[in-house]
Amino acid sequence: MPKIKITETIFRDAHQSLIATRMKTEEMLPIAEKLDKVGFHSLEVWGGATFDACLRFLNEDPWERLRKLRKVIRKTKLQMLLRGQNLLGYKNYSDDVVREFIKKAIENGIDIIRIFDALNDVRNLKAAVEETKKAGGHAQTAISYTVSPVHSIDYYIRLAKQMQEIGADSICIKDMSGILLPYEAYELVKRMKQRVNVPIQLHSHFTSGIANQTYMKAIEAGVDVVDTALSPFGMGTSQPATESFVASLMKSPYETGLDLNLLNEIAEYLRPVRDKYIEKGILKPKVLGVNAKTLIYQVPGGMLSNLVSQLEQQNALHRFDEVLEEVPKVRKDLGYPPLVTPLSQMVGTQAVLNVILGERYKVVPKEIKNYVKGLYGKPTIPISGEIKKKIIGEENIYTGRPADLLKPQLDKLKEQIKEYIEQDEDILTYALFPQVALNYFRIRQVEKYKIDDTLLDIEEKTYPV
C-alpha cells in the first residue's frame, strides 16, 4: 500500500482558523526551511483569507509573502485555496481577472491551486481550472461537503465525475464544518475511488471532535492525501494535529514516513508564536474546544464567530440559540447551499435578521437577493416560488453561468489606479479589495518615498469597479 501523504496547513488554514489569519511573514520565514525538509506532499501557504488579512491588518503585500516563501521553500510544492470565480473575494470576477490572477499566482510560486465553489456549481470552476493547467499548475477541484436531504453520496460521486470531466488533476473533499462522519467518509472515498481516476484528498476541521476518526476511515478506503496542522495551531476549529496523526499511522500499512523529531522541532518554534497570540487575546479558548453543536446545525467555526459578533453589535447575544435554530431553516429555504464562504456569511446574516426583526425575510440583504436571482450560481435544489416571491418579488431568475454577465475588467482597473502601480500584481490586488488595496498603496508610498500623507486624499476619491 502507498504511504499516506500530508498537506500541512500551518501557514494558511491553521492560523486562519485559530488566530484570524494574523500570522506574519516574519514569523513564517525562520521555520520555512525546516518545513521544506519534512517531506510533506504540499504546504498550504496562500489564498483563503490570507490575502485580505495581509493588506487589511498586517500592512503586508501578499504577493511579496508568496515570493519570500518560495525563495526559501524549494523542494515542497506550495498550495493555495481559491474560491473559483470569486478568487479570494466575495463576488464573481470577470474571466480576464480570474485568468490573470491565476497566471500571476503560479508565476510567483504556487504549484497547486485548490479551487472550490460555494454552490458546487462546476460552471464556476471551469475558467480557473483551465487557466491553472495552461499556466503549468496542478488544478485540484474541491467538493464543498455538506449534509442535507439532497446531498447524498450519489450526488457527490456525480459531482466528482463532472470535476474530472472539466480537467481536475485531483479532487479534494472539503469538509469545512467538520461534519463528515467516519463511516460516511469510508463509503464516500471508496466509491469515489472506483468512479474517478484522479487522486483524492480529504480536508476537515476538528471543530466537532471527529476529524481524526474520519481521516482514519478515509485512509482505509483509499484516500491519497489528508490535511493536518502542526499541534501549536492544530485541533479546535483547525485541522487534526500533524504530529499526533503521523504517530497514529506508525507501524501500519499507511505509515507516512515523516520524522516525528523534526516535526517536534518545528512545533517548538511555533509554540511561542501561538502563546504571543494568546497574550494578545487573538487566540481565544473557545476555538480550541470541541463544539458538538456543529454536528446539529452544521455551522463552521468561523461562521459561529461571525454570528456572535453580529449579535453583540445588536445587544442580542442572548438570542444566539434562536439564531442557531434559524440557520438550517434559512438554508432549507435557499435550496440547501453548503455553509462555506460567501454563502455561510449570507445565510448567517439572514438568520440574524429574521430573529432580531421577528419576521422572516422582512429585510433581505442585496447578496441574498442576487443569490436567489441566480447571480452566484445554481442552488442544489430549486428555491420554492413562495420564498422567491418573498425575497425578489416577480424579478426574473438568471440560469446561465454568472460570469458570462461580466465584461472584461482588467484594462479599466489598470487605468483607475495607474498612479499607484509598482507591479502588475497591484492591479489584481485592487480588483479584489479596492478600498483596502488603496489604503495599503497609500501607506506603501508614504513609507517608500517619505512623502507627506496629507497630499494623498484617497478617502475623497471614488474608484467604482
Q: Does residue 375 share a domain with residue 231?
A: no
End-of-domain residue from the set 400, 421, 444: 400
Task: Provide the residue count of the chain.
Answer: 465
- Of 161, 120, 137, the closest CA to residue 42 belongs to 137
For 269-298, what is each residue's pLDDT tens digit? 999 999 999 999 989 887 788 888 788 877
Whether the CA torsion 329, 297, 220, 4 is positive or negative: it is positive
- DSSP letter string, 302-313: HHHHHHHHHHHH
Q: Does a structural domain hold residue 291?
A: no
- In a domain, residue 265? The reply is yes
Express each pLDDT in 412-448 by its tens digit. Answer: 999 999 999 999 999 999 999 999 999 999 999 887 7
Query: Do 328 and 259 reside in the same domain of the chain?
Result: no
- Could you tell me the end-to-end alpha-carbon distance of the chain, in angstroms, rounded to an integer? 52
* 371 lies in the same domain as 447: no
Q: Are residues 66 and 132 in the same domain?
A: yes
Other residues' Cβ atoms within 10 Å of the Cβ of residue 394 = 6
Q: 448 lies in which domain range?
A: 407-455
Rounded mean pLDDT, 106-120: 97
Q: Are residues 318 and 232 in the same domain?
A: no
In sign, the C-alpha dihedral spanning 331, 433, 14, 252 is positive
Whether residues 355 and 451 share a domain: the answer is: no
- Residue range 362-394, pLDDT digits in tens: 999 999 999 999 999 999 999 999 999 999 999
Span 69-94, mean pLDDT?
Answer: 96
What is the per-residue pLDDT for 29?
A: 98
Bridge partners of 226?
6, 202
Q: Are residues 434 and 334 in the same domain?
A: no
Q: Is residue 294 included in any domain, yes or no?
A: no
The 10 Å Cβ neighbour count of residue 382 is 10
Q: Are both 229 and 214 inside the same structural domain?
A: yes
- Coil/strand/helix, residue 398: coil
Cell of 321: 440559540
Task: Evaluate whether residue 290 is within a structural domain.
Answer: no
To the question of pTM greater than 0.85 for the whole model, the response is yes
Last residue of a domain, one of 285, 319, 343: 285
CATH for 218: 3.20.20.70
Decide if 347 is inside a domain: yes
Does 148 share its domain with 263? Answer: yes
CA–CA gap between residue 13 and residue 114 (Å, rounded): 13
Q: What are the residues whose beta carbons fall under 8 Å from the beta carbon of 323, sequence distance 6 or more?
A: 307, 311, 348, 351, 352, 355
The residue type of 250 is M
* pLDDT > 50? residue 139: yes
Distance CA 191, CA 182 (A): 14
Place of cell 454563502: 343
74 and 194 assigned to the same domain: yes
Q: Is residue 430 part of a domain?
A: yes
Residues 326 and 439 in one domain: no
Asked, for residue 465, whether it belongs to a domain, the answer is no
Contact between residue 35 and residue 8 where contact means Cβ atoms under 8 Å apart: yes
Spell out the long-range contacts of 321-327 with Cβ–Cβ below 8 A and sequence spacing 24 or more: 322/355, 323/348, 323/351, 323/352, 323/355, 324/293, 324/297, 324/299, 325/297, 326/351, 326/354, 326/355, 327/297, 327/298, 327/299, 327/351
Which three-class secondary structure state does DSSP give residue 70?
helix
* Domain-terminating residue out of 354, 376, 400: 400
pLDDT of residue 462 exceeding 50: no
Sort strands 225-228 and 200-204 into parallel, antiparallel or unpaired. parallel
Of the CA atoms within 13 Å of residue 434, those in its CB half-sphere come to 15
Phi, psi of 393 (to 5 degrees): 60, -125
Residue 350 and residue 321 in one domain: yes
Is pLDDT at 194 greater than 90 in this prediction? yes
What is the tens place of the pLDDT at every residue in 305-352? Answer: 678 878 988 999 899 889 989 999 999 999 999 998 889 999 999 999
Is 462 inside a domain boundary? no
Judge whether residue 192 has pLDDT over 70: yes
Give the pLDDT of residue 292. Answer: 83
Task: Work out how many domains the chain is built from and give that number.
Answer: 3
Percent of the chain with pLDDT over 90: 84
